[in-house]
Amino acid sequence: MPPHPDPTLSYRITIRNFIGITLMTVLIFVIGGIIVVRLDPSIFTKERALLDNLLWFSLLASVGVLASTGYVLASRTAMGWAIIGLTRPEARWVLIAVSVAAALFFAGERLDALMGFGIMESTRASYAATLKSEVGLIGLMAVLAIILPISLEIYFRGVLFNFLRPMLGLEAAIGVSALVYGLLFFNPSIPVYMAYGVVQGAVFCLLFVRSGSLWTAIVANGTLSALTVAKVAWA
């Protein structure tokens, strides 16, 4: 039985919109990456500091997502960026987003400690060199808690979820988009980390749907990342 149309959606993101945004994002990322590597061949190598590589990756991804979404959707409709849910949220939903992210972090951290999954230890080892200085800590916080959450939420919730929602229905769209988001967390040495990513994706979707604003998902994503960095930095 096909899903019932959602009357709350005033515009449907079409397959052409979705493919166009995805391909344009990849193209901008690749071209930008080639230019950066040509200017500095040490970028994206193991010899380069992790923060530098992460910063350039985040900037390129963010430029790709923002430029492609803005061109394909925001600039071509009367709704502008509201078409993907970038509308001003109610103050209470910002507080709810922070609270939910904190609960998600502490639940995941406690489960990781009790079950010995090694997620926090792996994260601490990855960022150990970067966290030795205040500049590294501030830079890592800026990248993981501000830059990346905006681009990730715009693409996975604003574009992907909104594309799937009228086609699959609300529940299936949350599940599929969360599974795709969880792939970002794939780690062969810690398989359960991907499951944690799927849970995060589903929670961010629910915050977006309930609040009606993508900013709540961005705030939750940023808060969760900030708490993770703080934990590995001051443990």
Q: For 69-101, what is each residue's pLDDT tens digit?
A: 999 998 888 888 999 999 999 999 999 999 999
Does 1 reside within a domain?
Answer: no
Residue 9 maps to a domain: no
| Residue 154 lies inside a defined structural domain of this protein | yes
The predicted-structure confidence for 138-190, as pLDDT tens digits, reads as follows 989 999 999 999 999 999 999 999 999 999 999 999 999 999 999 999 888 88
Whether residue 2 lies inside any domain: the answer is no
- Please name the residue that has the structure tokens 């590995």: 232
When divided into structural domains, the chain yields a total of: 1
Q: Is residue 23 in a domain?
A: yes
Report yes or no on 5 lying in a domain.
Answer: no
- Tell me if 157 is assigned to some domain: yes
Residue 159 · residue 18 · CB < 8 Å: yes
The three-class DSSP label of residue 199 is helix
Residue 21 located in a structural domain: yes
Q: Which domain holds residue 51?
A: 15-234
